[in-house]
A and B are shown apart, each in its own frame.
Chain A
Amino acid sequence: MTPNSVTPHAVTNGFRFVEDILALRDSLVHPDEILDAGARGLQFFGRFHDLATQLGFEERLLTSYEDSYRAEVGIDLEALTRDVSDLAGAVDGSVAEITMLTVLAENLPAVWNVSGVDVVVDQVFEARREARSDADSAPLLIALADEFARTVRTALTDKAFKVASLDRATIGGLGVGEIEQLTRAASSGCGAEQWLETVFRSVYLDARDEFDRACTQCASAVGDAFDVATQWLTDAFPSSLPVAEPSASGAAASPFSFSIGGSVWGFSITPDGRGVSLEVTGADGSAASVSVELDENGWPRIVFDADQETLQEPPQSEVLQPELPVETTTEVSTTEVSAAEVLPGPEMEPDAEPTVAVPEESSAVPADETGAELAGAGPL
């Protein structure tokens, strides 16, 4: 038999008194250590589970108690704290970014006086609003992580304390060996049934109820902590598209999914936020995904992934860009256009007189140099 928390000789933690466990609420110990501290309570089931099963009022497996108790094992609060610290640090750089966006917003109309610049300026203002919002929320990220960690540690400590309190070597003053003798006596009709029913059964089931309550309350508190933290982040840092994170199984979750012809098409942002991904899963379970993402040089590249084989294509000529106004050909005259119309000086309005006098018959721009070409001088 492999020693575990329910076998008495497996518990070697340093908490001599159950009350000592409560001090872990305000500590920085790893959550797994908190669970270990309360695991001594599982010995109760290790001692009496077989007898209860034998007497017919225990239907669960002994291992189920260990499984239920350790539902939170592996939670890494330090990883979360470090991530949040890094995130807050990254957003701290927004101060310079906000300044730059302000400069752009104030100067673009003057130096880039073309049709559609208002839309660009609006986008700059929106980017500045977003940057300011991020900067305002960044300090709260740390508080959020602290509160999350505190809630989880408190919930685990409470569970550990309650479960550890269940530990006892005797029931009604009788140890396991004596209760075994009573059980044998009862099975041979020697009259121990009443004690087993009124004392042993009652105490065992009460302990089991206490154990269940402790686990349920802890799961509820930890689950709520996750939900509250996630909701706060979603409100503080909204995304136009959900970001797909690999699931526990390693498969990427696709927030937007469509069922087409028996296949599931999922669209999502790549986990690192540098591109978008389209995953197609066939009815036979086969899957393939195509991602368009930016490489280390900022060039877009297409990554095809099917059955573990990845094919990377060279950079494409079409660059994914945010929406910006497009200077259409109808806005640029092929006979009267001048550079000043494309990019007037700071004081000029789009309808102002051009500073370069171009005779009509000289045709400053040839017929083949149309708006499509000149549009390159505009915002887009």
Chain B
Amino acid sequence: MDVDRAGTDELARRAVSAAQDLRASAEPIRQLRFGGAVSGRDYAERGVALASALAVVNSRLVGRADFLEMLGRRLSSSTEAVVDVDRAGAQRLRGSGGSAS
């Protein structure tokens, strides 16, 4: 069977690794210092709006990290599932007297 398991595994491993790096980059900006409480006495609402806009940068990084991590996991589970199906098929073929090429 012609499945690039090694290539898929490598892709999965690198995707998960990239996701971890991205998550590590996003970690220091999970909690922002700036916000409504330090934006000036009469500018709390505007400070909240500005802090919210800044927080989106973190959520975009985390979102892409989640996407990469999920993609890596699915790639990895795909190769395992393919191998399982392949092994089960081969066993059934042997059990029924067939042969796999």
| A358 within 8 Å of B (CB atoms) | yes
Q: Is the CB–CB distance between A339 and B68 below 8 Å? A: no
User: What is the minimal beta-carbon distance from B18 to any residue of chain A, in angstroms?
Assistant: 4
- Cβ-closest chain A residue relative to B96: A362
Which B residues are in CB contact (< 8 Å) with A72? 40-43
Known: A100-B15, A219-B42, A339-B1. A76 touches B60 (CB 8 A): no
B62–A358 contact, CB under 8 A?
Answer: no
Please name 20 further chain A to chain B contacts, defined as beta carbons within 8 Å, in addition to the given A92-B25, A134-B57, A253-B48, sorted by A numbering.
A75-B43, A79-B34, A80-B50, A83-B32, A86-B28, A90-B25, A90-B26, A93-B22, A112-B8, A223-B43, A229-B53, A233-B53, A242-B52, A248-B37, A273-B56, A298-B69, A342-B81, A343-B79, A356-B89, A365-B88
Query: Does A367 count as interface, using CB distance less than 8 angstroms?
Result: no
Bound CA–CA A191/B62 (angstroms): 77
The residues of A that contact B96 with a CB separation of less than 8 Å are 359, 362
The answer to whether B38 touches A229, judged by C-beta atoms less than 8 angstroms apart, is no
CB distance A76 to B38 under 8 Å? yes
Interface range on chain A (Cβ under 8 Å from partner): 35 or more
A238 at the B interface (CB under 8 A): yes
Q: Are A273 and B101 in contact (CB under 8 A)?
A: no
Q: Would A272 and B31 count as touching, CB distance under 8 A?
A: yes
A73: interface (CB < 8 Å) = yes
Seen from chain B, the residues whose Cβ lies within 8 Å of a Cβ on chain A are: 1-4, 7-8, 11, 14-15, 18, 21-22, 25-26, 28-64, 66-71, 74-75, 77-79, 81-83, 85-86, 88-89, 92-93, 96, 98, 100-101
Shortest C-beta distance, A295 to chain B (Å), equals 13
1/0 contact string of A223-267 vs chain B (CB within 8 Å)? 100110110011001110011111110000100000000000000
Per the bound structure, the CA–CA distance linking A379 and B6 in Å amounts to 17
A339 and B82 contact, CB distance less than 8 A? yes
